[in-house]
Amino acid sequence: MEDLIEYLKSKLKNLNDIYFRELNIKGKKVYIVFSDALVDSNLVSNYVVRSIVEIITNEPVDERKNTLKDKIEEKIGINTSNIDLEDYIAINKVKKLDKEKDNLFTYILSGFVLIVLTDGIYAVETKASLVRGISEPTSENSVRGAKDSFVENIMTNIGLVRRRLKTEKLEYKESKIGTKTKTTVGIMYISDIAKPDLVNLVGEKLNKIIIDGILDINYIQEYIEEKNESDFPVSINTERPDIVSYYLLQGRIAVLVDNSPYVLVLPAFFEDFINHIDDVYQKSKNVTITKIIRYVCLVLTVTIPALYLSLITFDQESIPTELLTSFAAQREGVPFPAFIEAIAMIFAFEILRESDLRSNKITGNTMSIVGALILGDAAVSAGIVSPIMIIVVALTTISGLTFSDINVVNALRKWRAIYMIFASLCGLIGMAMATILFVTSLVSTNSYTKSFTYPVAPLNMTQLKKSLFTRMAIPKDNKRQKILTNNLTRSRE
């Protein structure tokens, strides 16, 4: 026992937050080891130390309190001096450890209290709550939806989903990933809806991960999307438990990572990034216009700068004369070629966005005002850029912001640049070529053995009718999608 303590002390001598305590109760030596930073000291003193003392001395420390031990002794009348600590300590999570097999340091550094006795080592969970409370979603807004969002604690996150899906079929399997971080990573699915082969596939992919640390959900995302060479993500990143529950009910699988307030849902299709959960929370008949706006935005944000470039440098005959005259009048006196002007302005707006994202909230507001004034007004009055260019860039940017997933926004930004290069080299024909590339890239993307562009390619008319421009009324929409599940009926068990 002393050897073990010495061993631990030598190994942990540079970790000054590790606390060793020696208890000497009626000649019986007990050591407790824990990390001061991770444990709740109230739990340690009131439940661990007190329990140990009570168990060993066979009498309550506090006479006023009827401990569990007393009750047992009164009822059964057995001597507790040599009974297992595991059964009697007043904390739920207790485990007897084997000093050869188990890594004791992991337990100490996960917020456990290590109780070292002559006849064994016990780990008792006394984790302090080191996370913030549940707050409103910050990156995914919704008008009518639930206002709770995931936090950094995986157990809270599981709880948020379980609150919505009260079924024993909602299964959760966890594993520890990361040789240094030992991060809890769990997968969640509804066992009678999700396809078992997909669950196995994800499980296998998670098992294969060998890395020192998992700090964010994106580590997992990149590992399990390893074969995805497309610019678009093939899994959904969301911070909202209602979205996760919505997808779980469709037969998708959620991957949760401790310390990340985002949950991964897979597989994802391209339409999932265009559709929004708000569509489900609003009257279905009015969703059509919203959806059309989003499709238009998708096209606009990718093509508008390229279209402008090709119209004013190559295909001037394709626009009405009045518009051409207006363009020409505005371009008069601008010192740069149109391509340079467009690239410079789009770059400037990207700088504005990046600095807005990175800076703290107080300076951020000032910066956006300054940026908008300089880029918008002053640049035009100085004659460096044409006003139409500002309109083009503004339209591009606001259209791009209709998509909430940052990976999608960035992918669209990349394709916007490709479109612009093609358009600046050969006009509308170049845009046609870029479109061919874009479509080719989209349809060749694979989302966990499923096609990314479903339901357009492969064509599924039933699903298209349901979701392309409309949303089917919820009472009528009683079939699940065949691509995600084998259990198709929604309306009965």
Partner 1 sequence: MRKYVIALLIAVLIFGRLDSIRELTDLAVVKAFGIDLTEDGKYHISAIVIDTSDKENSESGIIYESTGDSVHDAARNIVGISPKKLYLAHMETLIISEEIAKDKMENVLDFFIRDNEGSNAFYLFIANGNKSSEIIDTINQEKIDMVSFLKASEKYRGNANLKNLNEIIKTIFKEGIEVCVNSISVKDDKVLINNMAYFKDWQMKDYLSQEESVLYNVLTNEVNNIIMSVGSEDNLAVLEIVDSKSKISIDKQQNNKINIKIDVNGNLSETSKNIQIKSTNDLEEIQKSFESKINSDVIEFCNKIKNEYNTDILGIGNLLYRKKNTLYTEENYLQKLSIDVETNVNISNQGGINKKW
Give the total of residues touching partner 1 (CB under 8 A): 27
Residue closer to partner 1 by CB (options 302, 434) is 434
Spatial separation of the C-alpha atoms in residues 298 and 412, rounded to whole Å: 8
Residue closer to partner 1 by CB (options 321, 489) is 321
Sorted by sequence, the CB contacts under 8 Å of residue 248 that are 6+ apart come out as: 161, 165, 170, 188, 189, 190, 193, 194, 254, 265
Spatial separation of the C-alpha atoms in residues 419 and 87, rounded to whole Å: 68
Residues 304-363 binding partner 1 (CB under 8 A) are: 312-314, 316-317, 321-322, 324-334, 337-338
Contacting residue, 427, 451, 453, 467, with partner 1 by CB under 8 A: 427
Residue closer to partner 1 by CB (options 249, 433) is 433
Residue closer to partner 1 by CB (options 328, 401) is 328
Least distance (Å) from partner 1 to the CB of residue 156?
48
Residues 255-314 binding partner 1 (CB under 8 A) are: 312-314
Contacting residue, 37, 53, 249, 425, with partner 1 by CB under 8 A: 425
Sorted by sequence, the CB contacts under 8 Å of residue 186 that are 6+ apart come out as: 154, 158, 172, 173, 174, 175, 255, 256, 257
Q: What are phi and psi of 488, to 5 degrees?
A: -85, -20
Other CB atoms within a 10 A radius of the CB of residue 168 amount to: 6
Spatial separation of the C-alpha atoms in residues 381 and 378, rounded to whole Å: 5
Sign, CA dihedral 194-199-202-207, equals positive
Residue closer to partner 1 by CB (options 325, 486) is 325
Least distance (Å) from partner 1 to the CB of residue 326?
6
**444 makes contact with partner 1 (CB under 8 A):** no
Residue 204: strand, helix, or coil: helix
Interface region with partner 1, contact rule CB under 8 A, candidates 16-24, 98-106, 419-427, 484-492: 419-427
DSSP 132: P
Residue closer to partner 1 by CB (options 301, 310) is 310
**429 makes contact with partner 1 (CB under 8 A):** yes
- In sequence order, which ranges of 192-286 are alpha helices (DSSP H)? 196-207, 217-224, 241-250, 270-274, 277-281
Residues 204-233 binding partner 1 (CB under 8 A) are: none
Residue closer to partner 1 by CB (options 241, 427) is 427
| Alpha-carbon distances, residue 17 vs 8, 12, 259 (angstroms) | 13, 9, 21
Least distance (Å) from partner 1 to the CB of residue 327?
6
DSSP 233: -
* Site map 98..137 versus partner 1, x via CB under 8 A: ----------------------------------------
Contacting residue, 251, 261, 305, 430, with partner 1 by CB under 8 A: 430
**426 makes contact with partner 1 (CB under 8 A):** yes
Sorted by sequence, the CB contacts under 8 Å of residue 292 that are 6+ apart come out as: 469
Instruction: Count Cα atoms within 13 angstroms, Cβ side, for 48.
Output: 27
Binding site for partner 1 (CB under 8 A): 312-314, 316-317, 321-322, 324-334, 337-338, 422, 425-427, 429-430, 433
